[in-house]
Every structure is written in C-alpha cells, then in structure tokens.
Structure 1
Amino acid sequence: MRMWSLENLPFTLCIALICVRSAAALIHVFEYEGRQAVVYCPYIQGYEDYEKYLCKKECGNDYDVLIKTTEANKHKYSIKDDRKGLFTATISDLSLTDAGKYWCGVTRTGKDIYSEVQLDVVEDSCCDTTSTVQGNEESSASFSCTYEPENKDSEKYFCRGNQPSRCLQNTLITSPNQQNGRFRLTDDKASRRFTLTITSLTKQDAGSYLCGVHRNTDLDLFEAFELAVQGWCCVNTNKLKGIVGHPVTMHCPYPPQHRDNRKFLCKGYNRKNCRDMVKTQSRFTLQDDVSSSSFSVMITELKAEDSGTYWCGSDSQWNVGNYVKIQLSAAFEHQTTRTVVSTITVVSTSTVGSQLTNTTGKPINRMFLFHPVVYIIPALLLTLTFALVIVCKCRMDKRRGTRANVNRDNTNEAAIEEVLGEAEIYANQELVFSKKLPTKQRRACQRNEYAGEDQQDSVYRNISASEDIYCNDIYINS
C-alpha cells in the first residue's frame, strides 16, 4: 500500500500542480504608459516561507525571471510578500513594449506554482475626439458624458487636463458629492448621462477637461472636452450722441434663440449692479423686432443726466455674446451751434448780406445763420461803439481848436483896433515925428512900417503897431 502510494506520488503532484495552475484565474492588469503597474499575486496557505518571483514569457530559464522575493529591487521591478497569501510585483516607468504575458511564481521542489498575468499598456492621452464648449466670463458652462448600462452604479468624476492616468487622483468632483464649490455634478440614470456645471466662470477655467467612469476590472472610460472662456473685453461697445430735449434711440441685437427671452436695458457702469430703465422710467420705450432679432429702446425726451453706460441684452445670465454696451452722451443744442460758428468766414463787407463761406470755400446756406446771429450782433455793437467814441473824440478836439483860434483872433483884432486908434490920433504928427527923429531911429521906424505892410499874419501886424508906438514914445521922450 505504501509502495503504491510512493510510486504514484509524482503523478499525484503533477495532477495537483495542473489543478493549481488551471484553477488560478487570469490576472488582468491595465495601465498607462509612463505609470507603474502593480501585479497582485495570490498563493495558497503553506507557502508563506517559499520564494516568490515574477517572470515573463514562458519562464523557461533564468533570463525570464524579472525579480525574486530574495531581492528588494531590481532595475524598474520590485516585489513584496505579505506572508498572508499575497505578494505584489511592481513594474515602474511603463512603456508600450512592457505589455504582454507575465507569471507570478512560487518556487518549490519539483514544478513551481504559477498564476498567469496579462498586462496591457496604453498611451496616457485622451481621446480620439474632443468636444468644444464655449463659455462666457462670469456666466456658467456645462458639458455632459454618457455611459453604458453596466456602469449605471459606477463612480463618475471630472478632472482637468488630458491625462487619464492622473484624472482619478486629481478629480474636481465625483458622483457621491454633487456639489464642490463652483462645480456641480448631476447624474441622470434614466438617460445614462452625467453633467458637470461650472458657475462664475473665469478665464483661468479655460482648458482641457476629462469626464471618467471608473471600472474595477478594466481601464476607466473617458471623454475629452475643451472649454473656451470669452472675456468681457470682447463685448461690443457702441457710442451714441443725443441732444437734450430731443428723442434718441438705442438698437440692441440678440441671438435668434433668445426671441422668447425678456429683453431689457439697464444703466450703470457695473453690469452686475445696473438699473432697469424700461421698468423705472416712462420716457424709455422698448420695442422688439423678432424678424430682425433685435430690439430698440427710445428715449422720448433726452435729459443731461441720461448720459452714461447702458447694457442691453436678452439673457439674465450675463452672457457676453448676448449683450451690447452703449455709451450715451447728451449735449445741449447751443454746443453744436458753436461748432458751426467757428467754421464760418465772411468773404467781404460787401458780400455779408449775399453770401458766406466756410473754411473749405463752399457757400453756406442762410438757414445756418439763425443761431450765429446771437454771437455776431454783440460783436457789431462793440465795433460801432468803438467807432462812435473815436468820432466824438475827434469832434471835441476840433471844437477845442476852433475855440482857441477864435479867442486868438479876438485878441488880435482888439490890438489892431487900439493901434489904429492911436494911429489916427497921431496921424497928423507923423511927418513931424519923422522929421524930428534921428536918422538912425527914423530908418528903424520905416523898416517896421514896411514890415507891417508886407506881413499878412495878425501877430506880425501887432508887433509892427507896437514898434510905431515905441517910435513915437522915443520921439516924445527925446
């Protein structure tokens, strides 16, 4: 009996080995290029103190053995035994050539115990197609991913970037948590679609995103998105000018899909805190033209305080592409008149009433002269006043000169009359005087007499008369 048992022992061990190898399930490992693959190798109790190893291909020679438990590390391989029925082998810095068949082995007398391992290595990038999502700064953006029915209860998650290997470790939000700050995840199991919504978008939110479905026995499933965020710098800005007291109209286009949205116009420098003018001001009238996908707001009577920044739109979420920024400035009517007056030039005084030209030499219609008269009349009055002052001054100077001449003539006439009177008194004595005067004095008197006859001026006549009197006085004295 014992002999039979010993003789049949090799056959029994062989059957047991075959059963062990065939009973061990295939160990399937999936990993991304550049990462590390961890192979979990179970073994039966009783082999805790036996040597374990990881080999490749058929493990037919020592070259196929990659690492043993008697070695801590070897190249990019490492191994560890917990002595509780499981040892792990790690392959670091994976490359596509590392993919293939491996074996977890337990060394023993006779045939070793093996467990088959299939390692799949894929590129760490995703995906063949990428969906683009357009978002607007300070608004919200959403993108959705689908999954298969067998993954209905699997964990779903979102992450930034395009590396699937790091996505699960760097998740923004997972399905167990529906809200994480500005990120919200909703899972509609009826349509097998889960959605990520990002609120209060900033320019920093732009970039690549991945949505993933976690699977325990295979690589996770991913879809790729590219989020573009448009800033408020790109809002269309229109400048509009109006005249106080007159009507002015603002035109606001909107996307066709917003035809049923409420249209509004609000005023304020900050678009987040502006006042709805259509609701609060009766002077503002809104009219929607669905056919042209635009609406207009008319201010029936513009006021100076209406100047400022306006925002017209059709989406309360403040999407950039759906808004128009209008800069309105209100001016008084006389301010525009000044501009016209400054360009008018009078050709000549003879053509003032017939034709005026501007700086370009083109005639200006008389209708433009209505307002400039307000400024031309004061200038003409000033000129006339200045001319009158000059004329009055000239007349006063002339009168003063005439009065002085009259006084001077009156004085001369009186002197002449006095001399003539004395001349008549001494007329009969002229001969006597001339005879009795010395020769020298008589000649002097004669010269004075001749001078009095030749000179026409009244002053010289007075001097001649005085000399005659002097000559008579000399004679009397003598």
Structure 2
Amino acid sequence: MWILRNLLFTICIALRCVTSAVGVIHVTGYVGSIVKVSCSYDEGYESYEKYLCKNNCGDSDVLVTTSESRKNKYRIHDDKTARIFTTTISDLHSADAGKYWCGVTKTGKDIYTEVKLKLVRDSCCDTVTKVQSYEGYSESVSCPYESQYQNSLKYICRGNRPSTCLQQALITSDTKQNGRFRLDDDKVSGTFTVTINSLVKSDSGSYLCGVQRNSDLDVFSAVELKVKEWCCVKSTQINGTVGHPLIFQCPYPPQHRDNRKFLCKGDHRNKCTDMVTSQSRFAIEDNGSSSSFSVMITKIQADDTGTYWCGSDSQWSHGNYTRIQLSVVFQQHTGNGASTVETPAQISDAGQYVVYAVPAVLLVLICVLVLIVYKCKRQKIKGNEAVVNRNTSKTGGLEEVMGTAENGIYGNDEVVRYSEKQTSKSACNDYHDAGEDEPDYENCTQSEEIYCNEDFHKANRR
C-alpha cells in the first residue's frame, strides 16, 4: 500500500497535482527547543488517519501518525472539532530544518500540505538597551513595537531565551499589574512600558520585551538592567560613650546650601526616623562656608546605637548623603579613680571578673609589706647561721654534759641553767662580733660563769 502511495505521490509531484488545503505553511523554531506544526483539513475527514512526513513521504519518511501518536521526539494530536491536527517536534537540531508534509490518508491520492521549517538560535538580540538605576528606586523600561501589533499581547521576561519567554513572563498586557511590576501600553506611540518598583540588586540582569505573533516567532527587544547599591557622599563609623556628648560632621553638595538639613535613624533610608524633630538631645548646626553641618548629641544613650543618614535633599538623590554607623560604649570606673571604656559585650561579662579586681594603691602596699617581711626573715636566718657556726667549737663540751644530764646522771638543774646562760652570753657576743644591730634580748648577760670552779669539776669527775 505504502509503495503504491509513494509511486502515486511521486507522479503527482511531477505533475504538480498535490492538493493543498491552505498552501505552504511557514514555521520557525529555536534550536534546542520545540516547535508545533498545525495543519487543517476539510469537513468529512475527521475519522481519517493523519500524519507528518518528510522528503518524498516514503515509508521511511513518515515521522508520526495519528494511529501511533508518539514516536521518538514526535507527537501528534488531532482536534476533530476544530479539524486541525498538530505535530510537536522537540529537541530541535539544525538538521531538522527543511521541508515537511502534513498528510491526510484517503482512498486514491492523499491530501498534502507543504510545511517549511526554519530554525534560529535561541537567543536575542543584536542590539541591547542598557538601563542603570539604584536600590530602592523605581525604573521604567520602554519597549517599542510596530503598528501592526497594536492589539497583540505584550510581555516581559528575564533572561535572553525567546523560546521560553512567554511561559516565564513577569507580567503581560492582560494582567497589567503583578507585584512590583506594572505594564502600560501606549498604542498611539507604539511603545509599551514596564515599571519596576523598589529595585533591589538582584533585579540586575537581562530582560526581553516580547510581542506575540500567532503566525511566526514573537518579536523581541533586549534590555540590560544594572541596579547599583544606593550610596552616599561617604560612609563612616563613629563611637560614642554613654552619658557623654558627641559631635560629628555631615558634608553636603554646595548647591544644597539653602536646603533643609536633616538627620534620621534606621537601617533603610526609606524607613528612617527624623531624630532632630523627635529627640531633644539631637541638634543640627549648619556651616555653609564648609558645605557641612554639625550634628550634636548632648548625652549619648545605649539605644542610640545604629545606622544614621544625614543629608540635604528630601528626594534622596544618589550621592547626596552620609551614612553613619554609630557604636555606643560604656565607661567603667575603677577603685583608684581611673576610668576605662568597655564595649557592651565586655560589660556583659564584667560579673565574671569584677570580684577579683584590686585597687592599685592597696596592691602596692601589699607588695611592700611582703618585701619587708621577706627581708626581715632573711636577716634573722643569716644571724642564726652565724651564731651556730661560731659556737660549734665552744659548745662541744657542753653538749656532752647536757647529754649526760638528759640520761639522768646529773639531776641538779643548776647545770641546765649554767648551760642556758652560757648559750645566751655567746649569742650576744656573736651578734656584736658580726657587726649587726644589737638585738633587744633582755635575757642576755655579761656576768661571770657562776658554776665554773674547780670544786664543781672535781666533784663531777668523782
């Protein structure tokens, strides 16, 4: 059957007798993406088999049929109500470009519609409009289009892939408002405008403005948006001490000399509190000759820590402000009248070490006393060593007598008293000999040796 059909088709091509329902269908797709080829047919052919083929539509050229709706990367669907069958080709490559045929099987010769598929790169565009803005600002992106597309759908998406732009659109002309995005279409001037409010740095990147076309690829224009960090004349960090005054300077452009100067506090400039009008401790004094004004805080408090903005332009124009990071520290007094400054983090740990703090004067006194006691002990030890060394030879005989007395040979305690007097006498003499200051010993005596007589020794020898 297919061989006969192929033969008839070849004859018809040569004789230009192919029946076309709508003429040649032109389709353009993106490399790496998918494309849909839709072909209509006449009433009465709803139940007939439809197919898509390539080249001469031989058996090997048939890509997919409605009797086998899925084959490789081809899918086919027949909408019998609308009398349109659609073939989807996915994962497109450059080799997929070329001529195709939509076919309707019937007795005799089939009905064919020619399709020409063109493939382009999935990127855009040769010309890019660059837009620059700052964090927190609102920015509008203008997207022109031709007059024949006045009533077409408009949209914008991120990135530079036209094939998926409509599916990933941030906003379309049908919705007009979506979160921070708003779309306005001026059909007279042929331009639609997309406004992005409250810009953040992550909004930076590539965007595509798209205009939908049903018969061909959508029309796009490219925009590159760069969102910079909103900043100021300068950024600075200062420290203040609780209970003390603080003065710092805020520069401003010379052209703002007559503008109202102000200071506000808050992490974000759009949500900050005017400190001069809300706090009596804050005051401003302008110095026009130096293009700066002074901010005075009469008495710093712990909760003054934070971010401040001082400026001279109520419109918050870029570059006209000073951003100040104020850190507040506490002053701690020590016992000797001195003072040190501690940060809040250090003060939170103060309870761990304040118990061990010793005033400096008391510490010095303790050290002096320790040195005096140490010196006295050293002197006493040296004196005792001298006495012992000098009396070693003199007391040899006495030790023998004392040893005998301890064994009970002499019960008379006079001998003991004799020994004590001798020792005291020797000690006193030794201190004088050593050249030391004379100790105040009341028991020292210079009397003669009372018990040293011949009779006493003779009695002992017996």
User: Quick one: distance in 1 between partners of 2:287 and 2:232?
Assistant: 26
User: Quick one: distance in 1 between partners of 2:300 and 2:169?
Assistant: 52
Structure 2 contact 252–312 (Cα < 8 Å) conserved: no
User: Quick one: distance in 1 between partners of 2:327 and 2:93?
Assistant: 67
Structure 2 contact 21–40 (Cα < 8 Å) conserved: no
Corresponding residue to 2:223 among 222, 225, 250: 225
Give the drift of 1:173: 1.0
- Alignment TM-score, normalising by the size of structure 2: 0.55
Q: Which runs of 5+ in 2 are unaligned?
A: 1-7, 329-462
Whichever residue aligns with residue 26 of structure 2, its letter is H
SS in 2 for 1:154: coil
Verify: 1:123 aligned to 2:152, yes or no: no
User: Quick one: distance in 1 between partners of 2:145 and 2:206?
Assistant: 20
Structure 1 contact 239–328 (Cα < 8 Å) conserved: yes
With over 3 angstroms needed to count, the CA separation of the structure-2 counterparts of 1:223 and 1:322, relative to structure 1, is farther
With over 3 angstroms needed to count, the CA separation of the structure-2 counterparts of 1:144 and 1:73, relative to structure 1, is same
The corresponding residue for 1:87 is 85
Alignment of 1:405-444 (within 5 A): none
The corresponding residue for 1:78 is 75
Larger helix fraction of residues: 1
Whichever residue aligns with residue 161 of structure 1, its letter is G
With over 3 angstroms needed to count, the CA separation of the structure-2 counterparts of 1:58 and 1:329, relative to structure 1, is closer
The corresponding residue for 1:382 is none
The corresponding residue for 2:292 is 296
Verify: 1:56 aligned to 2:54, yes or no: yes
Corresponding residue to 1:33 among 20, 31, 34: 31
Corresponding residue to 2:137 among 119, 136, 139: 139
User: Quick one: distance in 2 between partners of 1:56 and 1:169?
Assistant: 30
Verify: 1:204 aligned to 2:208, yes or no: no
The corresponding residue for 2:401 is none
With over 3 angstroms needed to count, the CA separation of the structure-2 counterparts of 1:80 and 1:186, relative to structure 1, is closer
Structure 2 contact 19–112 (Cα < 8 Å) conserved: yes
Alignment of 1:237-386 (within 5 A): 237-238=235-236, 249-253=249-253, 264-270=261-267, 271=269, 272-275=271-274, 277=276, 284-286=284-286, 295-298=291-294, 303-304=298-299, 310-313=308-311, 316=314, 318=316, 321-326=319-324
SS in 2 for 1:150: helix
Identity among equivalent positions (%) equals: 52
The corresponding residue for 1:184 is 182
Structure 2 contact 285–293 (Cα < 8 Å) conserved: yes
Structure 1 contact 160–208 (Cα < 8 Å) conserved: yes
- Alignment TM-score, normalising by the size of structure 1: 0.54
The corresponding residue for 1:42 is 40
Whichever residue aligns with residue 97 of structure 1, its letter is A
SS in 1 for 2:227: strand
SS in 2 for 1:38: strand
Deviations 1:351-401 (A, max 9, x none): xxxxxxxxxxxxxxxxxxxxxxxxxxxxxxxxxxxxxxxxxxxxxxxxxxx
Structure 1 contact 278–286 (Cα < 8 Å) conserved: no
Whichever residue aligns with residue 125 of structure 2, its letter is C
User: Quick one: distance in 2 between partners of 1:31 and 1:73?
Assistant: 20
The corresponding residue for 2:159 is 161
SS in 2 for 1:31: strand
With over 3 angstroms needed to count, the CA separation of the structure-2 counterparts of 1:228 and 1:241, relative to structure 1, is same
With over 3 angstroms needed to count, the CA separation of the structure-2 counterparts of 1:202 and 1:283, relative to structure 1, is closer
Give the drift of 1:45: 2.3
Give the drift of 1:220: 1.1
User: Quick one: distance in 2 between partners of 1:43 and 1:223?
Assistant: 36
User: Quick one: distance in 2 between partners of 1:106 and 1:245?
Assistant: 92
Please identify, of 20-29 and 244-253, the stretch whose mean Cα deviation from structure 2 is larger: 244-253
SS in 2 for 1:211: strand
Structure 1 contact 139–317 (Cα < 8 Å) conserved: no
Give the drift of 1:179: 1.6
User: Quick one: distance in 1 between partners of 2:53 and 2:190?
Assistant: 42
Deviations 1:416-441 (A, max 9, x none): xxxxxxxxxxxxxxxxxxxxxxxxxx
User: Quick one: distance in 1 between partners of 2:322 and 2:247?
Assistant: 20
Give the drift of 1:298: 4.5
Quote the RMSD (CA, aligned, Å). 4.2
